[in-house]
Amino acid sequence: MSVETKNNGDLFDNNVVDCKNNGQHCDEIINKDDGSVGGVDVNDAFTYGRNTASAYSPNHQSAPTEKYASHYKMNHQKRGLAMIFNHEFFTVSHLKPRSGTNVDCEQLVNTLKDIGFDVNDFHNSTHKDIVKNLERVAEMDHSNHDCLVVAVLSHGELGLFDAHDTPYKADSIWSFFTSDKCPTLAGKPKLFFIQACQGDRLDGGTVLKDCTETDGQPSAPTFRIPSHADFLIAYSTIPGFYSWRNTTRGSWFMQALCIELRDNGFRYDLLTLLTFVSQRVAVDFESNTPDNITMHQQKQIPCITSMLTRLVKFTPKNCVANSARSPST
């Protein structure tokens, strides 16, 4: 689907959208908190999952950051790896080429390199190749790395991304990097940036009038973290909705993300920065298709899912932000 959009008064460009139990009741499990006597903790599931037993076999890994540090440690020898899976062409006949995605990829490669990442970009990968590369990176030793970045630029729909040859489940991308499967990234941020549709709904937006006014505690020797802690997943759009891409300048989300990382990557923590990414996408971009009223003046808002436990603030390698706060009482 091709439409035109306007962006801050620029000339109209061609834009498109990137769409596409075992029967036992749960018993109560008694937990202890720092040795104190407490109540009984129960879960809100109807049945135990098949992998429940794994919860009782935690991996032991040295914590990369103090227990109550406010920031993730960013003074390792290397920033870390960044993987970009860029998809322009597909073997499935109904999936059209994603013109403009190579602009996104090039901008993201350069931006991440400027922050200090070692970047690997993969183009039109099959699902088998995607799995192979994710497994390879998950098996590496990341002990000297600050964090990990994975970006996917493709068609998609709710819960699915499209590889060159077939769709695959979205959560399979980050499942390789949980702390039990990739222990050298345990306690470190794992950051995922997704440019893809999550459905086929449109957002017509709401008109607002502009309003202008004139006027350090010591850490415990060991502590346990959830396997899915320290993840951040930034989608270009909210579940169920289209994600827009300009065939000349690239997708709205990736344009905004690269601008903010380039201009403010060392100034703000990542969640603050992503708030301004959302602001750019929400305010600066709007589709312009007067001949197609359904697609005319449509909007988009990114969706950020954070399981981070500290602030992510990129710093030059000779500067560290790793202050500690007091534990809750």
pLDDT digits (tens, 9 = 90+) for 66-79: 889 999 999 999 99
Q: Do residues 299 and 312 make contact, with C-beta atoms less than 8 angstroms apart?
A: no
321 or 159: which leads in pLDDT: 159
Residues with Cβ within 8 Å of 142's Cβ and at least 6 positions away in sequence, in order, are: 80, 81, 148, 182, 184, 185, 188
Q: Could you confirm whether 197 is annotated as catalytic?
A: yes
Q: Do residues 168 and 161 make contact, with C-beta atoms less than 8 angstroms apart?
A: yes
Structure tokens at 93: 């006949």
Residue 285 β-bridge partners: 7
Catalytic option among 71, 142, 145, 155: 155
Q: Could you confirm whether 155 is annotated as catalytic?
A: yes
Residue linked to tokens 């065939």 = 247
In 30-136, where do the E strands start and end?
78-86, 118-123
**What is the per-residue pLDDT for 38?**
57
User: What is the mean pLDDT of the segment spanning 50-64?
Assistant: 55
Taking the C-alpha atoms of residue 102 and residue 109, their distance in angstroms, rounded to an integer, is 10
Counting other chains too, the contacts that 28-31 makes at CB distance below 8 Å and 24 or more residues apart are none
Taking the C-alpha atoms of residue 32 and residue 326, their distance in angstroms, rounded to an integer, is 21
Chain CA centroid to CA 89, Å: 23
Strand order in the sheet with 78-86: 118-123, 78-86, 145-153, 190-195, 231-235, 303-306
Taking the C-alpha atoms of residue 65 and residue 324, their distance in angstroms, rounded to an integer, is 10
User: What is the mean pLDDT of the segment spanning 184-192?
Assistant: 97
Q: How confident is the model at residue 199 (pLDDT cuts 50, 70, 90)?
A: confident
Q: How confident is the model at residue 36 (pLDDT cuts 50, 70, 90)?
A: very low
User: What is the mean pLDDT of the segment spanning 94-123?
Assistant: 97
What is the number of H-type helices and E-type strands within the chain?
Answer: 4, 14
Structure tokens at 44: 């809100």
**What is the per-residue pLDDT for 281?**
97
- Decide if pLDDT at 173 tops 90: yes
Type of residue at 77: Q
User: What is the mean pLDDT of the segment spanning 30-34?
Assistant: 41
Q: Which of 272, 263, 277, 279 is nearest to 321 (CA)?
A: 272
Domain locations in the chain as residue ranges: 62-306
Q: Specify the CATH architecture of the domain 62-306.
A: 3-Layer(aba) Sandwich (3.40)
Tally of CA atoms within 13 A in the half-sphere of 82 that contains its CB: 21
pLDDT digits (tens, 9 = 90+) for 256-290: 999 999 999 999 999 999 999 999 999 999 887 78
Structure tokens at 264: 């403010």
Q: What share of the chain has pLDDT > 70, as a percent?
A: 72
Catalytic option among 19, 105, 182, 197: 197
Longest CA span, the chain? 68
Q: What share of the chain has pLDDT > 90, as a percent?
A: 60
